[in-house]
């Protein structure tokens, strides 16, 4: 008897549940859909109708399930990660963009849209996959977006995404954020960064992060704030008066980052919660 979507999907959910996957049904549907070229809704409908699938497809699904059961990120297996309206290339060496960062990007998008500049300039420091920068460029098309990344392992992924999205108002550079875009000094409207912010001696809880995300994108020195300090300094150089800084960070770092920004001279630093009510981002205004 040929395998059916019902049996394959039920088996997938059971395996992923046993592996400790947080949302086993979601991951099962997405893995099956990746192999069959179907949406999650199509997979669910096919399961309800008990549609048959080929032995070959079932074998490929089993292979991918075995990988996911080791807690290899779903996005590494499919090679894609959704971010707002985008679908990005990701894999080993680049940080996989998270849903909570979509909300952080919204702060920068709103700030860019509120600026009176005909072509407000935004800068993404440590762009990784390019998720934030490309979201800004595509959702605020009258803006000019500049992004920089300093990881040789991540940069090929960044380049692929910039080439694929092909936003004419987005510019990518390789280099350190401390020296980023000196020609823009004093002209930028919004600076945003999702820097590495985990303290050096902290161990990430999730195996997907601990085992597969690049350490370069995770750890920010003894207190986790080394790169945040650099973002603050660079932001002061790049932004014009009244420009907005947006920094993503860990849920326990808001107070320390507000104090850091205040000491550097930023105005009205404020910390914002994500959809799970955890502190997720701090904004400030250039003096």
Does an H or E element contain 207, and which?
helix 207-207
Adjacent-strand bridge partners of 244: 190, 285
| Closest to 4 (Cα-Cα) out of 24, 32, 40 | 32
**pTM here?**
0.91
- The fourth-level CATH superfamily of domain 81-285 is Vaccinia Virus protein VP39 (3.40.50.150)
pLDDT of residue 20: 94
**Residue 203, pLDDT score:** 79
Regions in the chain scoring below 50 on pLDDT: none
Compute how many other C-beta atoms are within 10 angstroms of the C-beta atom of residue 271. Answer: 17
| Residue in the structure block whose two tokens are 């909570």 | 100
């Amino acid at each position: 008897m040929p395998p059916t979507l019902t049996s394959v999907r039920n088996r997938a959910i059971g395996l992923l549940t046993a592996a400790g996957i947080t949302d086993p049904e979601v991951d099962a549907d997405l893995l099956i859909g990746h192999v069959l070229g179907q949406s999650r809704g199509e997979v669910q409908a096919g399961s309800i109708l008990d549609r048959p699938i080929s032995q070959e497809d079932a074998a490929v699904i089993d292979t991918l399930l075995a990988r996911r059961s080791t807690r290899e990120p779903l996005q590494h297996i499919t090679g894609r990660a959704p971010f707002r309206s985008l679908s990005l290339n990701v894999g080993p060496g680049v940080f996989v963009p998270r849903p909570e960062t979509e909300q952080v990007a919204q702060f920068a998008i709103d700030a860019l849209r509120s600026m009176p500049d005909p072509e407000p300039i935004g800068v993404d420091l440590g762009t990784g996959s390019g998720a934030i920068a490309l979201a800004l460029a595509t959702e605020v098309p009258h803006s000019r977006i500049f992004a920089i990344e300093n990881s040789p392992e991540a940069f090929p992924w960044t380049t692929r995404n910039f080439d694929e999205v092909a936003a004419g108002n987005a510019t990518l550079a390789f280099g350190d954020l401390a020296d980023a875009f000196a020609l823009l000094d004093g002209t930028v409207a919004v600076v945003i960064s999702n820097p590495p912010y985990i303290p050096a001696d902290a161990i990430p809880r999730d195996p997907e992060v601990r085992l597969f995300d690049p350490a370069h994108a995770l750890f920010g020195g003894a207190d986790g704030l080394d790169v945040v300090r650099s973002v603050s300094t660079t932001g002061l150089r790049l932004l014009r008066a009244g420009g907005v800084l947006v920094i993503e960070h860990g849920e326990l770092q808001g107070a320390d980052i507000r104090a850091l920004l205040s000491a550097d001279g930023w105005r009205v630093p404020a910390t914002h919660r994500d959809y799970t009510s955890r502190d997720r981002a701090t904004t400030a205004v250039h003096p």
